[in-house]
């Protein structure tokens, strides 16, 4: 592609300040499979955070946002997703790669209006035209409010395609891109790369990192979904808990949630009802949008190195309840009775939520709402019980190992007083399995039968069963214990850095002079360097990921040199420089 060097130099002061760049996609995604959905080009925004070495856009890493209803994170929030705490204290992955010469480009999907004239208007630029104290579609007659962070993934993928093309045009040099897709961003980036390859568009991307992305679907316990929806919309106009309505309408009913969730409450509703479940629909069932999306996204990009980091346990460790007991299928999340405040008569509400059951337990209760008033006896105002059943090939997904969703993400805006406060205090779970491990690893599925408790053993692929140990990824990081969804740790950061930074960073002149090799990598307490020739007075140093020199010496490389080390676990850069200023660099990982 043509490189716009002059334009880049002209824009350098702005890029250095990481200015937000807003853009409308040049591509309109094909949404024809979704009945009644209007197709139009989306609106995105990005910022470029140049490296702290040369300050030139020449080695871009794209980080795109995941599922974010209401655009609560914005670009600074996405940057902070890369924070982690390690042996060196609080750090940030973006800061670390920028010190190594990489540029970080963050793509966000904001809220915006699609106006009647087909132009777009970012919500940040909108005004309260009708002075009703709310900025909504009434301010712009004929408009459509689009929540980009929960919009159709196909539309957001086209924005990423445009950004990839822009960066490949404007970057200096020929360095290929790196793309990191956390959560739903993993699916958006997968879609975009597939689209470009299918349409013979060179994405110039060498590495795609899927970070706890739901390739086989995401999960919100069906009992929670039913409770949120019924309490928000099923009690009646005077009794509905309106604080829950944004969770239902903005999150659970969003296009992206309908595409992602493997068990969606709307698929269980009685025909013609918005709140009542059909008692015959006991098995897990996705929204119709999910099948359409799966037919659209296709397989996995072929011209990139595809690796995966997940937050779910790779060895099947169950996650824990608030009382530190293992969570199992059918686990009782809450079963309690509360006094309803501000009622003219003594009123109680019995609330029960259970996780989906084990296969052997057949149909079991997952949601119960019983509201009773004491007035010349007991009168039932609301009496609802919902059952569910696991399929024959897997226990209910809710208790599977996976990246964990913190319930505070649902409840943060509900307050802590009254009935809501009593409800939250009584919950026996503060997290649930959001991205099952077999989903984050995209394990191969046959007959649409996913065993959410499959014993992941990627070292010994097998062909039997409906969930196999075949994965499209060539490398991966899986922790032993379940972690919070898209949580960075020193361990998975080390993995990411080992993939982002090319294996050998030496110059060609050194390779013509001598061949060096690390005897084993990762290492324990000693580093052994093998050389095919004698290198006198070589200056050797090891640098940690913060840039701190942790070892420095002058040695003679003579076939085999062993250096004792006492280093913390993590990734280090080995630098070797000869008397004639020939330089060799490579990564070393300490276990």
* Residue 422's pLDDT band (cuts 50, 70, 90): confident
| Cα atoms in the Cβ-side hemisphere of radius 13 Å centred on 404 | 22
Residues 80, 78: Cα–Cα separation, whole Å: 5
**8: pLDDT strictly greater than 70:** no
Sign of CA dihedral 139, 151, 118, 46: positive
215-234: pLDDT as tens digits: 999 999 999 999 999 999 99
Alpha helices by DSSP H, 405-478: 408-411, 418-426, 437-440
- Of 486, 557, 418, 448, give the one whose Cα is nearest residue 182: 486
* Domains contained in the chain, CATH given: 5-211 (3.40.50), 222-477 (no CATH), 505-590 (2.60.40.1930)
Q: Which of 153-167, 245-259, 355-369, 540-554 has the lowest mean pLDDT?
A: 540-554
> What are the pLDDT digits (tens) for 113-134?
999 998 999 999 999 999 999 9
Q: Averaged over 395-410, what is the pLDDT? A: 93
Quick check: bond before 80 cis, omega within 30?
no
The 10s digit of each residue's pLDDT in 311-369 is 999 999 999 999 999 999 999 999 999 888 777 888 888 999 999 999 999 999 999 99
503 or 389, which is more confident: 389
Residues 386-404: what's their mean pLDDT? 98
How many Å apart are CA 39 and CA 54, to the nearest integer? Answer: 42
pLDDT tens digits, 237-274: 777 888 889 899 999 999 999 999 999 999 999 999 99
What's this model's pTM, rounded to 2 decimal places?
0.87
Give bridge partners of residue 230 from the DSSP assignment. none
Q: CA 578 to CA 501: how far, in whole Å?
A: 23
Of residues 93 and 87, more confidently modeled: 93
More confident site: 462 or 408: 408
């Amino acid at each position: 592609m043509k490189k716009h060097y002059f334009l880049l130099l002209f824009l350098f002061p702005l890029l250095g300040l990481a200015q937000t760049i807003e853009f409308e996609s040049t591509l309109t995604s094909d949404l024809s499979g979704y009945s009644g959905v209007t197709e139009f080009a989306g609106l995105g925004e990005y910022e470029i955070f140049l490296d702290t070495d040369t300050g030139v856009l020449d080695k871009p890493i794209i980080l795109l946002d995941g599922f974010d209803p209401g655009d609560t994170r914005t670009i600074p929030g996405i940057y902070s997703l890369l924070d982690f705490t390690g042996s060196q204290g609080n750090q940030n992955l973006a800061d670390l790669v920028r010190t190594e010469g990489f540029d970080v480009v963050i793509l966000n999907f904001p809220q915006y209006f699609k106006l009647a004239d087909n132009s777009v208007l970012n919500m940040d630029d909108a005004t309260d035209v009708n002075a009703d104290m709310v900025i909504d579609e009434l301010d712009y007659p004929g408009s459509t409010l689009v929540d980009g962070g929960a919009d159709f993934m196909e539309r957001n993928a086209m924005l990423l395609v445009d950004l990839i093309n822009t960066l490949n045009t404007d970057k200096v040099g020929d360095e290929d891109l790196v793309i990191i897709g956390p959560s739903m961003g993993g699916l958006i980036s997968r879609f975009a790369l597939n689209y470009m390859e299918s349409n013979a568009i060179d994405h110039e991307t060498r590495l795609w990192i899927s970070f706890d992305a739901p390739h086989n679907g995401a999960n919100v316990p069906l009992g929670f979904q039913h409770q949120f929806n019924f309490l928000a919309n099923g009690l009646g106009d005077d009794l509905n808990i309106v604080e829950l309505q944004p969770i239902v309408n903005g999150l659970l009913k969003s296009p992206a949630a309908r595409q992602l969730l493997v068990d969606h409450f709307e698929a269980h509703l009685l025909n013609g009802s918005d709140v009542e479940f059909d008692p015959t629909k006991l098995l897990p069932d996705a929204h119709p949008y999910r099948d359409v999306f799966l037919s659209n996204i296709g397989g996995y990009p072929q011209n990139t190195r595809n690796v995966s980091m997940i937050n779910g346990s790779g060895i099947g460790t169950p996650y824990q309840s608030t009382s530190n007991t293992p969570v199992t299928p059918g686990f009782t999340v809450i079963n309690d009775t509360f006094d309803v405040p501000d009622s003219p008569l003594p009123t109680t509400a019995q609330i029960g939520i259970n996780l989906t059951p084990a296969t052997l337990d057949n149909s079991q209760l997952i949601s119960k709402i019983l509201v009773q008033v004491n007035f010349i006896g007991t009168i039932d105002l609301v009496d609802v019980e919902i059952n569910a059943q696991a399929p024959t090939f897997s226990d209910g997904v809710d208790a599977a190992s996976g990246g964990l969703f913190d319930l505070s993400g649902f409840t943060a805006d509900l307050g802590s007083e009254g009935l809501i406060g009593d409800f939250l205090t009584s919950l026996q779970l503060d997290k649930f399995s959001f991205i099952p491990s077999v989903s984050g690893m995209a394990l191969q599925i046959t007959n649409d039968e996913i065993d959410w408790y499959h014993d992941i053993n990627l070292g010994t692929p097998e062909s039997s069963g409906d969930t196999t140990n075949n994965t499209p990824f060539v490398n991966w990081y899986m922790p032993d214990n379940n972690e919070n969804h898209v949580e960075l740790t020193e361990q998975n950061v080390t993995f990411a850095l080992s993939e982002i930074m090319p294996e050998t960073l030496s110059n060609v002149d050194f390779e013509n002079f001598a061949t060096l090799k690390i005897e084993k990598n990762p290492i324990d307490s000693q580093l052994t360097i093998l050389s095919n020739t004698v290198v006198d007075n070589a200056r050797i140093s090891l640098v940690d990921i913060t840039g701190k020199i942790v070892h420095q010496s002058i040695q003679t490389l003579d076939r085999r040199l062993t250096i004792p080390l006492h280093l913390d676990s993590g990734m280090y850069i080995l630098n070797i420089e000869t008397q004639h200023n020939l330089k060799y660099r490579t990564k070393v990982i300490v276990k």
